[in-house]
C-alpha cells in the first residue's frame, strides 16, 4: 500500500508541518511520509561512513526507530540537517563500538619486515592532521562551519547554503577565506 501524502491548501506539507503533526499526534503514517523523503539521504550518509551496503540498509531501519523515540523529545528547527547529524552520529558511534570490540592476536612471524619507517610516516601524518584540526578550530565560527561542511563532509555550496542559511556569495567567501586562513595557519605551525 502506497502512503497518501496529506495535501495542504498550497500543496504537499512541508517537513516542518509533518514534523509538528507527528510530534502532536504520534501518527506513524505522518512520520513515514516525512522519513520517506529522506531515505536516500540516510542510506547515502550511512554508506559513506560504514562502507557496506547491507550495513547502510540496516541503518535506514534503525534510524527510523530512533526517530520514533527522539522526535517527541527534541525541538527541531530544520529536519533535514538535523536528520543528517543523527545519521552521522549513529554511524560514528557504531564504528567506534566496532573498533573497540576488534582484537587481533599479534604474531611476529607474519611481519614482512622489521623496518618501522612506515610507522614514522603514519605518525607524521597524524601530527599534520592534529595541526590541521587545531587550525580549523582557530578559524572564526562561520568559516569553521563552512570549511568542515565543504572539505570534511563533501558538501557543495548549495547544500551548505541550505544547512547554514547563508547566501551563495557568503558561502563562497567563507570557504575561500577559510582555506586561505588554514593555509597561513599550517605554514606558521
Average pLDDT, the chain: 82
Contacts of residue 124, Cβ cutoff 8 Å, sequence gap at least 6: none
Q: Are residues 16 and 72 in the same domain?
A: yes
**127 and 74 assigned to the same domain:** no
72 in the same domain as 31: yes
Residue 57 has a pLDDT of 93
pLDDT of residue 142: 93
CA distance 133 to 166: 24
The SS3 assignment for 11 reads: strand
Same domain, 85 and 16: yes
Residue 2: band (very low, low, confident or very high) from pLDDT cuts 50, 70, 90:
very low
pLDDT above 80 (res 4): no
pLDDT at 60: 93
Q: Please, are residues 54 and 62 in contact by the beta-carbon 8 Å criterion?
A: no
Burial 69-102 (b: 16+ CB within 10 A, else e): eebeeeebeebeebbbebbeebbeebeeeeeeee
Closest CA to 43 of 91, 113, 95, 8: 91
Q: Is the pLDDT of residue 38 over 80?
A: yes
Question: Are residues 176 and 140 located together in one domain of the fold?
Answer: yes
What's the pLDDT tens digit per position in 147-182? 888 888 888 888 899 999 999 999 999 989 988 998
Give this prediction's pTM.
Answer: 0.48
Q: How many structural domains are present in the chain?
A: 2
Residue 103 has pLDDT above 90, yes or no: no
Q: Are residues 30 and 67 in the same domain?
A: yes
What average pLDDT does this structure show over 36-49? 93
Residues 95 and 128 in one domain: no
pLDDT beyond 50 at 6: no
Segment (H or E) for 8 = strand 7-8
Amino acid 21: pLDDT:
92
Does the pLDDT value for residue 37 go beyond 80? yes
The pLDDT of residue 11 is above 70? no
* 8 Å CB contact between 42 and 87: yes
Query: Is 145 within 8 Å of 164 (Cβ atoms)?
Result: yes
Residue 108 within a domain: no
Q: Is residue 165 part of a domain?
A: yes
Write the CB contacts of 61 (distance below 8 Å, at least 6 apart in sequence).
none
| Residue 104 scores a pLDDT above 60 | no
Q: Domain for residue 106, yes or no?
A: no
164 and 110 Cβ atoms separated by less than 8 Å: no
Residue 119: pLDDT above 70? no
Q: Are residues 97 and 12 in the same domain?
A: yes
Range of the domain at 128: 116-188
Which ranges of the chain would DSSP assign to H, the alpha helix?
A: 15-25, 28-36, 39-50, 53-70, 79-101, 117-138, 141-147, 157-164, 168-188
Q: Using one digit for the tens of pLDDT, what is the confidence trace for 43-54?
A: 999 999 999 999
Amino acid at each position: 500500500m502506497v502512503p497518501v501524502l496529506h495535501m495542504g491548501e498550497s500543496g504537499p506539507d512541508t517537513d516542518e508541518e509533518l514534523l509538528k503533526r507527528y510530534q502532536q499526534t504520534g501518527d506513524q503514517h505522518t512520520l513515514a511520509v516525512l522519513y520517506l523523503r529522506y531515505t536516500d539521504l540516510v542510506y547515502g550518509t550511512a554508506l559513506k561512513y560504514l562502507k557496506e551496503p547491507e550495513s547502510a540498509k540496516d541503518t535506514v531501519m534503525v534510524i527510523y526507530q530512533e526517530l520514533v523515540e527522539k522526535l517527541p523529545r527534541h525541538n527541531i528547527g530544520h529536519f533535514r540537517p538535523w536528520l543528517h547529524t543523527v545519521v552521522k552520529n549513529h554511524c560514528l558511534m557504531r564504528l567506534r563500538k566496532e573498533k573497540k570490540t576488534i582484537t587481533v592476536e599479534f604474531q611476529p612471524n607474519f611481519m614482512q619486515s622489521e623496518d618501522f619507517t612506515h610507522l614514522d610516516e603514519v605518525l607524521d601524518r597524524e601530527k599534520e592532521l592534529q595541526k590541521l584540526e587545531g587550525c580549523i578550530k582557530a578559524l572564526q565560527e562561520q568559516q569553521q562551519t563552512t570549511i568542515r561542511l565543504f572539505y570534511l563532509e563533501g558538501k557543495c555550496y548549495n547544500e551548505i547554503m541550505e544547512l547554514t542559511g547563508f547566501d551563495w556569495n557568503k558561502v563562497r567567501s567563507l570557504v575561500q577565506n577559510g582555506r586561505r586562513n588554514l593555509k597561513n595557519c599550517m605554514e606558521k605551525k
